[in-house]
Amino acid sequence: MNETKIILPDRDIPRQWYNIMADMPNLPKPPLHPGTKQPIGPDDLKAIFPMSLIEQEVSTQRWIDIPEEVHKIYSLWRPSPLYRAHRLEAALNTPAKIYYKYEGVSPAGSHKPNTSIPQAYYNKKAGVKRIATETGAGQWGSALALAGSLFGIDVTVYMVKVSFNQKPYRRIAMETWGATVHASPSTITNSGRKILEADPDSPGSLGIAISEAVEDAATHDDTNYALGSVLNHVLLHQTVIGLEAKKQFELAGDYPDVIIGCCGGGSNLGGVSFPFLQDKINGKQLRVIAAEPISCPTLTKGEFRYDFGDTAGLTPLMMMYTLGHDFMPPGIHAGGLRYHADAPLVCQLYKDNLIEAVAFGQTACFEAAIQFAKTEGLIPAPESSHAIRGAIDEALRAKEEGKEKTIFFNLSGHGYLDMTAYEDYLAGKLVDYAYPDEKIKEALAKLPVI
Ligand SMILES: *Cc1c(COP(=O)(O)O)cnc(C)c1O
């Protein structure tokens, strides 16, 4: 098959999400209550999540129905296209075939609406009036703002202050969809005020913004909380990516040898790879690679242990590869990859050698992004450029080895609101920053002993 763009017939969108918990050799260890350090039950989460999402969080049922209303909204931009990167292959002069799934076609420009839409839907059904959340560079906040506007739910977003100041366009997008956006740390919550007392100039972090949003939700009856990555139900919703891709590969008469996704919290990687990992668990040869930044090297340098999901220690403790919950990542441009840990599902699969990980510096990633933009046309999100770096490296290795191989990566979003990042790269202003090992040790020394 020689076509560049493989599209599924109109509305041929999956009717069910795939739950990898039905097939994993080892399930993740249970989340623990932040106070008692005992396993939490559904009741502990009721203050901030609707029961339907809590059920999905713990479900081991293999297939979970996508509600009709969610399916309808998915069809605004899904199925997303699978492209064969013929021009990139030619530029690399590689015997490898390179495919990518393009999630930048969603209204918010990334894969995140795949989960913001069902999360808003289930909250609406539960009678929730407002959702509080955090956002780093603004992709998750915009995805939830969009979903809130479609279902008539108010959305309050705590946006990491450094991005709030440096990246006004996503804030304006969120406000256009009707959300209220606060720079975090803010003076609205106890968690925010505490951080500001200690450091009035705090640039904020995802961990701090999560503390603020969780506190907001926990202290208001009509308000719930939503998370854009990490949790099991988020990765479940994202499996629409991989399920569509499987059908598209069938149409193309091909199947990937290697699947690559960038990894911040693990949701796009999980979404693109889990339906294929089901085949791997059943004996198929296949590699899945998480591509992360060297400045926030969670899987490649972190430790597998219980940690909080946020800075203040309000969330349950989860078993994750972590750099420590008060890890302060340097301000690289891939804001969506600056989280101190990864999804428990991805971490367990990494522990069990079903997923591999690599870390790249940001200049090597921008170099790959620009080669991609010049050959394939699309300008990728800085986060997605990590997956492109991984794919190009695999293609170059195939060339060295003189081997044919099918490489598949997820292009998680476009970069059209990240132009200052490209401007800095083109002006030679970007530097690589590998997070020092001593600093990681320092942050890890502060973790709770379980
Ligand atoms: C948020 C984001 C990521 C990182 O989040 P994951 O949960 O690891 O997928 C990657 N790419 C884009 C475009 C994003 O918006």
Pocket residue to mutate for ligand 1, from 355, 412, 418, most atoms within 8 A of Cβ? 412
Ligand 1 touching residue 413 (CB < 6 A): yes
157 — pLDDT class (breaks 50, 70, 90): very high
Instruction: Please give the number of the atom of ligand 1 that sits closest to the Cα of 337.
Output: 4
| Cβ of 383 below 6 Å from ligand 1 | yes
Helix 362-376, helix 419-426: angle, nearest 10: 110
Q: Which one has a higher pLDDT value, 43 or 237?
A: 237
Distance (Å) from CA 114 to ligand 1 centroid: 12
In ligand 1, the atom with minimum distance to the C-alpha of 104 is: 13
Read off the pLDDT of each residue in 250-260 and give the average, rounded to a whole number: 97
Instruction: Provide the pLDDT for residue 242.
Output: 98
Is any ligand 1 atom within 6 A of the Cβ of residue 212?
no
State in Å: Cα 141 to ligand 1 middle. Answer: 12
CA of 193 to the centre of ligand 1 (A): 28
CB neighbours of 75 closer than 8 A, spacing ≥ 6? 11, 13
Ligand 1 in contact with 268 (CB < 6 A)?
yes
Q: Are 378 and 69 in contact (CB under 8 A)?
A: no
Looking at the structure, give the CATH architecture of the domain made up of residues 4-9+67-109+233-444.
Answer: 3-Layer(aba) Sandwich (3.40)
Per-residue confidence (pLDDT) for residue 13, from 0 to 100: 95
Mutate to test the pocket of ligand 1, among 174, 365, 383, 388 (most ligand atoms within 8 A of CB): 383
Report CA torsion sign: 150, 114, 380, 366.
positive
pLDDT at 10: 67
Neighbour-count burial for 39-74, b at 16+ CB within 10 Å, e otherwise: ebeeebbeebbbebbbebbbeeeeebebeeebbebb
Confidence check: pLDDT of 103 > 70? yes
pLDDT for 56: 98
Asked whether the predicted pLDDT for residue 179 surpasses 50, the reply is yes
Which pLDDT value is given to residue 314? 86
**Rounded mean pLDDT of 391-398?**
98
For 111-115, what is the mean pLDDT? Answer: 98
Of 93-97, 122-126, 282-286, 446-450, where does mean pLDDT reach its minimum?
446-450
Q: Which of 48-62, 63-77, 308-322 has the lowest mean pLDDT?
A: 308-322
**Is the Cβ–Cβ distance between 80 and 103 less than 8 Å?**
yes
Average pLDDT estimate for 62-71: 98
Amino acid (one-letter) located at 171:
R
The pick from 80, 103, 139, 157 for probing ligand 1's pocket by mutation, whose C-beta has the most ligand atoms within 8 angstroms, reads: 139
pLDDT at 2: 52
Residue 1, pLDDT score? 45
Q: How confident is the model at residue 386 (pLDDT cuts 50, 70, 90)?
A: very high
Binding site membership of 385 for ligand 1 (Cβ less than 6 Å):
no
Confidence at residue 42, expressed as pLDDT on a 0 to 100 scale = 87
For the chain, give the mean pLDDT.
94
Which atom of ligand 1 lies at the shortest distance from residue 384's CA? Answer: 11
* 343-373 pLDDT per residue, tens: 999 999 999 999 999 999 999 999 999 999 9
Query: Which of 105, 110, 133 for a ligand 1 pocket mutation test, highest count of atoms within 8 Å of Cβ?
Result: 110
What confidence category does residue 289 fall into, taking pLDDT thresholds of 50, 70 and 90? Answer: very high
384 lines ligand 1 (CB under 6 A): yes
The candidate with the shortest Cα–Cα distance to 98, out of 395, 400, 398, is 395
Q: Which two tokens stand for residue 178?
A: 């009707």
Cα–ligand 1 centroid distance for 265 (angstroms)? 7
How far apart are alpha carbons 34 and 53 in whole angstroms?
Answer: 20
Atom of ligand 1 nearest to the CA of 413: 13
260 vs 335, higher pLDDT: 260
Mutate to test the pocket of ligand 1, among 133, 160, 267, 288 (most ligand atoms within 8 A of CB): 267
Within 10 angstroms of residue 201's Cβ, the number of other Cβ atoms is 6
Give tens-digit pLDDT for 298-331.
Answer: 999 999 999 998 888 888 999 999 999 888 777 6
Which positions ≥6 away from 361 have C-beta within 8 Å?
A: 293, 294, 295, 432, 433, 434
Q: Measured from the CA of 271, which atom of ligand 1 is nearest?
A: 9
Identify the pLDDT of residue 12. Answer: 87
Nearest ligand 1 atom, CA 228: 7
Nearest CA to ligand 1 atom 10: 383
Higher pLDDT, residue 309 or 450: 309
Asked if residues 409 and 391 have their Cβ atoms less than 8 Å apart, the reply is yes
Place of tokens 């949003």: 213
238 lines ligand 1 (CB under 6 A): no
Closest CA to ligand 1's atom 14: 336
Enumerate the domain spans of the chain.
4-9+67-109+233-444
pLDDT confidence of residue 8: 82
